[in-house]
Amino acid sequence: MHWAQSFRKYLTPITESALAGVIGLAIGAVIMLGYGYDPGAAYVSLFKGSFGSIFSWAESLANATPLILTALTFAIAMRGGLFNIGAEGQLYIGALAAVSVSLIHLPYPLHLIVALLAAMVGGMLWSLPVAILKLTRGVHEVISTIMFNWIAHFFAFYMIANVLTDPMRGEKTISIAETSRFARMLPGSSLNYGIVVAVIAALLVLFLLWRTTAGFELRVAGHNPESAHYAGISRRKQVLRAFLIGGVLAGLAGAVQVMGRPPTYALVTGMSQVVDLGFDGIAVAMIGRNHPIGIIFAAIFFGGLMVGGRIMQFSPGVPLELVRVIEGVIILALAVPELKRIFHFVRSKFVWRRASNGS
């Protein structure tokens, strides 16, 4: 009975997310119709491109890898009642730190570990001032994280153009050293062992949140700040915890992206391979209901949309950007608790009809 009970507990959020996904795809279809595209052909090519073969599965998983980490950044803060939208900037810093480690020479496993550590520390340090500004000056994290994102954006541009530049090719940074790269899991695909890092991180966050005192305190502080206060849970500690762990995870996201993704293993001018991963992570966290396991599935869904979106761009010619439109609609749908009521209403009608048919 225990299993059935816990399954029922998870059923509602899963159906809600699925419903929001359907609404997103439906509005995406309406927009496509409005611009003279064929939504049927577009979605067929999108899902064939994302989950149609072993190779497309591998690409979808590769795209899911950084999203799992940036989504965890947002989710851990959300569990603590904080709205951290700073993964974007922290991930740039993590990627820069990982690339910088390739300036020195070290043997294989050590080099990779040092690069990961540097990225984690980089992301954490970029997140620290957000926590300090909130605790000492009461600056809302929505404002401070966005400002730090933009500062990181220009800082990264500077580093790519002036400090870490590849002496042979000016449009990119030096490539990550061979000794500091994640090996590919499927030859010819982008899927690499970075995904193991992401999944381990998700499991660690799961353990932290539901099996440790620290995680319990964080969740209480997020769920009911007043009770947390009377229970003697320090708000200062929770804010620091949520932002610092979040920074570590976002830094890792930047690192796995440059250390694992062929072919360049470097940051290019404009940072096309890392830009917006932080914001997509917010969407992934919301669809995954800020739960690490939910996030893994939501990230694979989104990774698939990104890969399939590229295919869709070729065959029916629908611009890839439509995927982000769908993402926005899904989030708007999830923001509405009323949706739950509408869903229950529809379900009760359906169940009622089935019951009356049976009699």
Partner 1 sequence: MEVEHLWGIFFISLHAMVPITLAAIGETIEESAGLFNIGLEGMLLISALTGALGAEYTGSAVGGLLVGLSTGAVLGLVFGVINTYWKGDQLITGVGINLFALGFVAFMLVNLGAPGFHTVPRDVQIKLIPLGVGALSPLVLVTVAMAFVVYWLLHRTQLGIRIKAVGENPAAADVAGISVNAVRLGTAIAAGALVGLAGAYLSVDWFGAVTKEVSAGRGFIALATVVFSGLNPLLALVGGFIFGFFDGFATWVATYPKIKEIIPWQFVAMAPYIVTLLVVAGVIGRVRFPKALGTPYFRE
Distances (CA, A) of 331 to 186, 201, 263, 281, 286: 33, 24, 33, 12, 7
For partner 1, the binding residue among 10, 150, 207, 345 (CB under 8 A) is 150
304-323 positions binding partner 1, by CB under 8 A: 319, 321-323
Q: Which of residues 120-149 bind partner 1 (CB under 8 A)?
A: 133, 137-140, 142-144, 146-149
Could you say which of 191, 266, 274, 283 contacts partner 1 (CB under 8 A)? 283
Closest CA to 295 of 12, 14, 8: 14
| CA–CA gap between residue 359 and residue 354 (Å, rounded) | 9
Number of residues near partner 1 (by CB under 8 A): 47
Among 11, 328, 345, 351, contact with partner 1 (rule: CB under 8 A): 328
Other Cβ atoms less than 10 A from the Cβ of 184: the count is 17
Q: How far apart are CA 337 and CA 20, in angstroms?
A: 11
Using left for φ > 0, alpha for ψ between -120 and 50, and beta otherwise, residue 56 falls in: alpha
Distance of CA 151 to the CA centre of its chain: 21
- Cβ atoms of residues 305 and 25 within 8 Å: no
The verdict on 29 binding partner 1 (CB under 8 A) reads no
Least distance (Å) between residue 19 CB and partner 1? 15
The yes or no reply on residue 158 touching partner 1 (CB under 8 A) is: yes
Of residues 24 and 122, the one with the C-beta less far from partner 1:
24
As given in the structure block, the two tokens for residue 231 are 């229970």
Position of tokens 């590849």?
166
Give dist(CA 86, CA 77) in Å, integer. 11
> Rule CB under 8 A: is residue 33 a binding residue for partner 1?
no
Q: Which of 286, 296, 299, 305 binds partner 1 (CB under 8 A)?
A: 286
Give the shortest CB-108-to-partner 1 separation in angstroms. Answer: 34
Using CA atoms, how far apart are residues 125 and 167, in angstroms rounded to an integer? 29
Give the nearer residue to partner 1 in terms of CB position, either 110 or 335. Answer: 335
Contact between 336 and partner 1 by CB under 8 A: the answer reads yes
Q: DSSP string spanning 64-111? A: HHHHHHHHHHHHHHHHTT-----HHHHHHHHHHHHHHHTTS---HHHH
Q: DSSP character for 266?
A: S
Q: Does 282 bind partner 1 (CB under 8 A)?
A: yes
Find the shortest distance in angstroms from Cβ 98 to partner 1: 20
Q: How far is the CB of 289 from partner 1 (least distance, A)?
A: 12
Between 58 and 307, name the residue whose CB sits nearer to partner 1: 307
**Pick 59 or 141: Cβ nearer partner 1:** 141
Write out the residues near partner 1 by the rule CB under 8 A. 31, 35, 83, 85, 133, 137-140, 142-144, 146-151, 154-155, 157-158, 161-162, 276, 279, 282-283, 286, 319, 321-332, 334-338
